[in-house]
Structure 1
Amino acid sequence: MANTPQAKKRIRRNQARAIVNGARVSRIRTFIKQVESALTAGDKDAAKAAMTKVQPELARGVAKGVVHKNTAARKMSRLTKRVAALG
């Protein structure tokens, strides 16, 4: 257990940030799932529309430190490749 006031405050802050960060990651996953569901349905227009929503969400996740830069780049690359293959 934390002894110092600073350590106690750190625990409280970390718990609060974990909730916010978890929501961010969940939001990103939701947008990715929308693209994947459009891909499985074979709907190129819906997939492209969903891709335009995923890109800023992933970039925001990287900026906030929730997703690693290379992970976001890899996900975007793979999704973009799959959307382009639909055509």
Structure 2
Amino acid sequence: MGIGIMTHGDTLTETWEASFRGAVRGSMKKGHWLTNFLCAFWHILKQRNARIFRGEHLPLQVLAYRILEESTLWIKFC
């Protein structure tokens, strides 16, 4: 799909900058990058609400995998 999974030393900012550079170079379709961005935004918002209102905490690595899995489905089926 063009976006790598975050490794232990990566920050979320570095991961998104790398994906943006890939989108600008044309290695990822513009619509796919937008779908990935919107999916990430949606999951981050849901995680924020779960943390604030239910006291739940999800590790960043798990959140990144969920975003990747769901954005793949969004692209495949939409």
Shorter-normalised TM range: 0.3 to 0.5
Q: Give the TM-score, by structure 1 length.
A: 0.42
Larger fraction in helix: 1
